[in-house]
Structure 1
């Protein structure tokens, strides 16, 4: 289904750009018996419900006019904010997240752990710097980027 994500991303990008929003992510997933096409959009200060509806209407019209239909099965189109725990996908996402609390999960354990939460302190092509609280002591970790399976902003409790 990556093809659907690629096609929809290419269709959505000009719509989102025209409104000075950011296309954060596109996913096409099956949940139970239903398919969902989800777009996550944002802008400085946050996105509104009306702005999500605007993008949804414009994208829906574009999708309806493509022949042959790139998504032949029935699906639900959802356009929303990425939320407080926004995923970090693009390089700009990581750079914006420096100084913020993040959650990183790994393909292989790092120092015996499959995931860490902490403050992102640095970003370069090969590594991420992360300050974590380990048993009451602050420790600086260096995480190889190739080992990061998923990254997102996190809420510190």
Structure 2
């Protein structure tokens, strides 16, 4: 069995371990970086993730993965946060981000724009209200959630 197949077969168990620690699973990926294989498990909580929680998740995942891994591939397990520009995975994440600076990409260009960065002011009936700066002028746009390709928190410069 290949590592990717093994990881896919354990996704629900990985997610259960993350939930037991009061966190949300954002992503599981298997990548090669600097000549090393890395199994990256990205987790977070509503208030951010702390090192102790990452360690607890890592310890529990290590037991699961080491007991049942039948592959010969060696890898490093990296349990980490999604970072300052974390993706907003669903409408609940978006609602929790009201008042934050966000960046999103449209499915289809809108008003001549492919993407927008701005302040998320409100979410009503799955429609986002975003205030953004276009060439020195502040504008407000209302965008249905289903017209957004990707959305994340952003750092304002």
TM superposition score normalised by structure 1: 0.79
User: What RMSD in Å do the two structures reach over aligned CA positions?
Assistant: 2.8
- Residue aligning to 1:145: 145
SS in 1 for 2:68: coil
Q: Partners in 1 of 2:50 and 2:135 — Cα distance?
A: 40
Q: Partners in 1 of 2:138 and 2:23 — Cα distance?
A: 37
Q: Partners in 1 of 2:143 and 2:53 — Cα distance?
A: 37
Change (3 A) 1:136 1:41: same
Which stretch of structure 1 is more off in the superposition, 124-133 or 94-103?
Answer: 124-133
SS in 2 for 1:92: helix
**Pick aligned residue for 1:49 from 47, 51, 54:** 51
Q: Partners in 2 of 1:2 and 1:140 — Cα distance?
A: 43
Q: State whether structure 2 residue 100 is matched by structure 1 residue 100.
A: yes
Change (3 A) 1:102 1:19: same
Q: Partners in 2 of 1:131 and 1:49 — Cα distance?
A: 34
Deviation at 1:18, TM superposition (A): 2.0
- Residue aligning to 2:20: 18
Change (3 A) 1:118 1:79: same
Q: Partners in 2 of 1:96 and 1:133 — Cα distance?
A: 22
Deviation at 1:2, TM superposition (A): 8.2
Change (3 A) 1:140 1:79: same
- Residue aligning to 1:62: 64
1:54-83 CA distances to partner (integer Å, 9 max, x unpaired)? 21121121122226x4x7744432111121
- Residue aligning to 2:82: 82
Which stretch of structure 1 is more off in the superposition, 114-123 or 39-48?
Answer: 39-48
SS in 2 for 1:65: helix
Any conservation in 1 of the 2:21–2:56 contact (CA below 8 Å)?
no
Mind listing any 5+ residue stretches in structure 2 that lack a counterpart? none
Q: Partners in 1 of 2:99 and 2:93 — Cα distance?
A: 12
